[in-house]
Amino acid sequence: MTEIPLSPAGGTALADRPGEAPTAQRPWVCLVWDDPVNTMSYVTHVFASHFGYPVAQAEQLMWRVHTRGKAIVASGDRETIEVHVTAMHAYGLWSTMEPGS
Amino acid sequence: MSREVRLSLGSEETALLDWLARRLLDLVDAPAPADDPLADWEAERSATPLDRDNPVLERLFPPAYDDLALEAEYRRLSEAGLRRGKADDARLMLADLTSVDGQVVIAEDRLEAWLRTVNALRLALAARLGLNTARQVEAVERLPRSDPRHDPVLVFHWLGQLLETLVVASWGNGDEARPTSAEGR
């Protein structure tokens, strides 16, 4: 994919977990997957509210999820991305994380 | 500067929301918050594990990782917090559910908790109804009254309208572009 991963504004730097393999330093991505129940406006709201994206950008991201089935909504170190995935789960979005390519 | 949102909800509707939110609370089974952080921690440690065979819980607490070991660690680190968060959100909504003259007033800083809870109720109902694909969602659009799913589907749609109202309210009076539609995804 040629998409540019978006970085949320004001990302929090967190210490790495102790004893982790060097691969933990690889950037991770937070994915949000399309699902038939969450509404377009709610997903847009979540992206704008949690990541602080302007509504137009949040809406664009929502469309990417909807039309492609999934989209990278944030990238960064593993701890930070896990915080974002947890927030997406708190909002009820279907979100996963994986090492970036 | 504190804004508030006024929802037109009658007592029957608040009673329905109250009932649904209490079922959600039962389901996430989060320990009540205590003043003593150690007691809180103990309560979390001893909380009943989530029943992962329950499709509702599977939907409300989806996996973060493909890798089983990483996923197990994610659950260990995040599950208690997610359960407490969903329970706190639901309790906050329950505390606001008093209809006065047909209206429920929500302070702006409580709107996110309302949004998350109404959405969770929708997801829970969808999981109960087995709505996992767009086709399945479409298939329940026009059910005969005799179908046992008829009334739950009405509630599902009503929650969708309520959610949409809350999302629109969350955009407030800002001059930013609004999302284009409220149709289901």
Q: Is residue B179 part of a domain?
A: no
Angle made by CA atoms A77, A97, A47, in degrees to the nearest 5: 90
- A99 lies within 8 A of chain B by CB: no
Answer whether A54 sits within 8 Å of B134, measured CB to CB.
no
Q: Is residue B65 part of a domain?
A: yes
Helix axes A78-91, B111-128, angle to 10 degrees: 70
- Judge whether residue A20 has pLDDT over 50: no
> Which of B52-56, B162-166, B181-185 bottoms out in mean pLDDT, i.e. has the lowest?
B181-185
- Judge whether residue B185 has pLDDT over 60: no
Answer whether A92 sits within 8 Å of B132, measured CB to CB.
no
Phi, psi of B93 (to 5 degrees): -65, -45
pLDDT category of residue B72 using cuts at 50, 70 and 90: very high
Nearest to B64 among A43, A66, A96 (CB): A96
What value of ipTM does the predicted structure carry?
Answer: 0.85
Nearest to A97 among B64, B115, B184 (CB): B64
Q: Note whether A17 and A24 are within 8 A (CB).
A: yes
CA distance A57 to chain B (A): 10
Q: What share of chain A in percent tops pLDDT 70?
A: 74
Average pLDDT value over all residues in chain B: 86
Model confidence pLDDT, tens digit, residues B136-161:
999 998 899 999 999 999 999 999 99
Answer whether A94 sits within 8 Å of B62, measured CB to CB.
yes
Nearest by Cα to A8 from A80, A69, A88, A101 = A80
Mean pLDDT along residues A6-18: 44
Mean pLDDT along residues A62-72: 97
pLDDT category of residue B179 using cuts at 50, 70 and 90: very low
Number of domains in chain B: 1
Q: Note whether B160 and B166 are within 8 A (CB).
A: no
Structural domain boundaries in chain A: 26-99
Distances in Å between the Cα of A90 and the Cα atoms of B71, B81, B88, B113 are 16, 9, 11, 10
- A39 lies within 8 A of chain B by CB: yes
Q: Is residue B183 part of a domain?
A: no
DSSP 8-state class, residue B98: -
Assigned CATH class of A26-99? alpha beta
Answer whether B65 sits within 8 Å of A42, measured CB to CB.
no
Helix axes B11-28, B68-96, angle to 10 degrees: 150
Owning domain of residue B64? 4-171
Question: What pLDDT, on the 0 to 100 scale, is given for residue B17?
Answer: 97
